[in-house]
Chains A and B, each alone.
Chain A
Amino acid sequence: MAVPTSILAARRFGYGLRPGETPPADVDGLMLQLRRGVAAKPRFPREGVAGRRETIGKMLTVRAVEAKAAVEGRPNPGLRQEMQAEVRRIFRRDALARMAQAVSSENGFFERLASFWLDHFSVSARKAYQMRMVVPLFEAEALRPNLAGPFRTLLRAAVLHPAMLIYLDAEPVSAGAASPLAAQNERLARELLELHTLGEDVAYGPGDLQAAARILGGLAVDSRSLDVSFRAAAGSAGDLALLGRNYADRAASAHLAMLDDLAARADTARHICTKLAMHFIADHPPEDLVAAMVAAWQDTDGRLDAVYRAMLEHPRAWDPAPGKVIAPFDFVISGFRSFERQGGEFSAVARAAEEGNADWRQAAPVARRGAAVEQPDVAYALTLEALARMGQPIWQPPSAAGFPDGEAVWLYAGQLRERLAWARLVARTLGQGIAPSDYVEMALGGAARDATRQLVADAPSRVQGLTLVLASPEFNRR
């Protein structure tokens, strides 16, 4: 099957086709998306990076004052509830803005990489109250600006961000422990070694882990300002030796030196390159593809843009056979993109979804003026609720390892059922006036099989015709 390169590029390396958007023609087109994406400001946090820091500061101050008053016997539950509601509202707007970002962006490859790194440096908004405000900030200021440069820059930005330090905080030291050592952060140390850098298969000793935990234990987050500080750990040379390097004499920069060394290790290059190839190319990527990416890493001292290019320049990247099953976020975003005929269709859905909730199934019927896209509960069902039901709620990964990946994870009866239901609902909601035969082109272009085209043309209703396109194996693979 001959699938045009541009269609493959948009579907395999981006969030799919969008009417009116010219898909990238080749590797250079994708790399241009990368550069543009790094420079662009995301739609979240809504008030911008500086504005969000201000918001968080205000919120934490009010909370501290309220907590102090409560201790003194003057609790203010109304204020507390009001703040919690406000935080929920802001989080929902940000999550919808993350969807809008992916739907509307012309830099699909960059957006996909942002999601990849968000998943790699996994943090959850569920961890703590303030995290709902902090995680969007984390993605916007730590990941997106740094994902096309040297890996060590990205690693520093991600690991030293308050979001990561709050998510992987030090276990409380048990009372009465005799150890004079400074706080240790074994959780962060383990995830840093196994997830963020070296990979799970790499052997390191208990002493290595202890050293990393002691060094990282010197990191602290101010509970009001969220400023991150580092205090060098006290210890003998042996206590602070990691993988044969000693950080005892690095004082206030021990943590940075350790991160840079980890970023430079061959195991890290191999781990990251393999993970990228598995994410973009195949559950079991060819060895020479990974080798080419590792070589690019070594040649450039870990420049990620060079690694991406090496991946894109490998012939396997352009194998026209339908490949990986796409994850729920990708499915929903690609679906919304395919309906952006005028531009702004998703914006209307997102606006309505701010007011929606999941109770509509029980609610008394209320008919409203206006299109179905403006029905808050339908809009909510199509966006945040759908992602939660399909198992990929925004900024809420199940663990530090992020969301799982692979065909076995995203293709099973319950998942397919949710996708069929979503496809039908979005077809009913956004499909007005679209001929299904036109829609095949809008959503799949040359990637559509003849059999699918025929079934779509013969569908018993327009809604079912559109639904079949979104349900098709080729739409759900890339």
Chain B
Amino acid sequence: MADASLFRLSRRGFLCGAAGAASLAVLPTATLAAGSGDNRLVVLILRGGMDGVDLVQPHGDPGLVALRPGMALSPDADLLDLDGFFGLHPAAGDLMGLWQAGELGFVHAVASSYRGQKHFEAQDVLETAEAEGKAGRTGWLNRALSLMPRIGQRRAVDITAAVEPILSGPNLVDVWAARPDRPLANDEMHGFGDLFAGDAAFAASFQDVANAGPGGLFDAAARRAGLIEMARQVGAMLNGDYRVASFSLEGWDTHVDQRGQFPQAAGDLSAAILALREGMGPAAWSGTIVLALTEFGRSLRLNDRGGTDHGGASCAVLAGGGLSGSGLSRKTVMGRWPGLAPEALYEGRALMPTGDVRDVAAAVLHRQFDITPANITSKVFPGLAFDGAASLLQAG
């Protein structure tokens, strides 16, 4: 356990908010007792709208091939079967070892309460779990920090700089500005391409940037390597003093050429999870849950640029030894599958949300940090009933 003086100072830092930062910075770091109270949580925000139906494909649903001819994969060929009905996209195939070990889970057809199509608004709702437009937003992960009963667990690190809302709020969080020179994702490249299209001189220079290949700003291999290195270092930090970490993975806004772009993003996610595990080491990993969430899903039919547009539900990804022994480790894809029949679709075009993404987060917070259902449903996710989380956690 942390000693009393550390507790007092940390408490003061917490109460003073940012003003207490200077005095805290020189403190020796907390050493934590091993054991059941030594759990870790990593929250990954998949920015851009991850296509959950592409990552975890319902090959048992006849609607899939009907909606996505030429894109739906088959377990007879490339798709990696998970439970006889769903299969994992092969770009994330390195995660199959975790699945077999009961250290990987998926909750399908979940969404936040946001039903619009704007990324920023949707991400705000996902990260703050507050109604849109509300002033003084705080991130739910930040709010959860003060409810963790063991003080040492409050040490949290925000990897993508302090810009993102999920860890912002009254509780102090450390910031690690990891490799800001990381190459950019495919969807970002397409965005720049469109941006420069109206200016011939810029368009020409940008063509050279986009085509620079190895060492360039859009070098996919270097991007992957950079992500792996970052995730490994985050894993090492979690093996040290930190108990909570969050960072973002971009590349999911696949309006263009989804078949080309999606495997890159899915591979990034898979590589990041495995690198976290490697950086952490087996002992820390055994008490860890990685939770990957996205702001919304995507349309099921391809658009005329070979991509998909915003909307509907997606799939939450869970990984880590901390899943073992709970209902989150049941080796079947979780959630209530709405089906892909035309009448079952959201707005006739996307996956119908049947579950609340907050249920997944609530289950994980309860599981990892013993935050009580009462606190979760009043302070972290006000207005949420705990039933959904409870049923996820129930072994079954």
- Point out residues on A near B: beta carbons under 8 Å: 322, 325, 361, 364-372, 375, 377-378, 381, 407, 411-413, 415-417, 420-421, 424-425, 427-429, 431-432, 435-436, 449, 451-452, 455, 457-465, 467-468, 471-473, 476-477
- Complex contacts, B198 vs chain A, CB 8 Å: 449, 451, 473
Q: A421-B181, A421-B217 are known contacts; what are 9 more A-B pairs with Cβ within 8 Å? A: A365-B176, A368-B175, A375-B177, A377-B177, A411-B201, A455-B195, A462-B120, A462-B123, A471-B192
- Complex contacts, B111 vs chain A, CB 8 Å: none
Contact across chains for B184 and A424 when beta carbons are under 8 A apart = yes
Complex Cα gap A367–B206 (Å): 34
Cβ-closest chain B residue relative to A476: B202
Assuming A415-B205, A432-B162, is B195 touching A366 (CB within 8 A)?
no
- Closest CB pairs A-B (n = 6): A413-B208, A460-B48, A460-B253, A367-B174, A473-B199, A372-B161
Chain B 252-290 interface mask (CB, 8 Å, partner A; 1/0): 110000000000000000000000000000000000000
Contact of A427 among B162, B163, B253 (CB under 8 A): B163
Contact of A367 among B24, B47, B175, B188 (CB under 8 A): B175
Please tell me if B172 contacts chain A, counting CB pairs below 8 Å.
yes
Contact across chains for A464 and B172 when beta carbons are under 8 A apart = no
Cβ-closest chain A residue relative to B13: A369
Assuming A365-B178, A367-B237, A471-B195, is B172 touching A461 (CB within 8 A)?
no
Please tell me if B2 contacts chain A, counting CB pairs below 8 Å.
no
Assuming A372-B175, A378-B180, A461-B48, is B163 touching A413 (CB within 8 A)?
no
Contact of B119 among A377, A381, A458 (CB under 8 A): A458
The winner among A364, A416, A457 for most chain B CB atoms within 10 A is A416
Chain B 143-186 interface mask (CB, 8 Å, partner A; 1/0): 00000000000000100111110001000101111111100100
Contact across chains for A371 and B49 when beta carbons are under 8 A apart = no
Please tell me if B18 contacts chain A, counting CB pairs below 8 Å.
yes
Please tell me if B250 contacts chain A, counting CB pairs below 8 Å.
yes
- Complex contacts, B248 vs chain A, CB 8 Å: 461
A contacts with B: majority SS: helix
Contact across chains for B192 and A378 when beta carbons are under 8 A apart = no
Cβ-closest chain A residue relative to B199: A473
Complex Cα gap A471–B205 (Å): 12
**B218-253: which residues lie under 8 A (CB-CB) from chain A?**
233-234, 236-237, 242, 248, 250, 252-253
- Complex contacts, A477 vs chain B, CB 8 Å: 199
Chain B 121-139 interface mask (CB, 8 Å, partner A; 1/0): 0010000000000000000
Assuming A368-B175, A432-B163, is B181 touching A464 (CB within 8 A)?
no
Contact across chains for B175 and A431 when beta carbons are under 8 A apart = no
- Complex contacts, A468 vs chain B, CB 8 Å: 191-192, 195
Contact across chains for A463 and B163 when beta carbons are under 8 A apart = yes
Cβ-closest chain A residue relative to B310: A458
Please tell me if B209 contacts chain A, counting CB pairs below 8 Å.
yes
- Complex contacts, A415 vs chain B, CB 8 Å: 205
Contact across chains for B188 and A460 when beta carbons are under 8 A apart = yes
Please tell me if B60 contacts chain A, counting CB pairs below 8 Å.
no
- Complex contacts, A465 vs chain B, CB 8 Å: 120
- Complex contacts, B177 vs chain A, CB 8 Å: 372, 375, 377-378, 428-429
Please tell me if B25 contacts chain A, counting CB pairs below 8 Å.
yes
Contact across chains for B163 and A464 when beta carbons are under 8 A apart = no
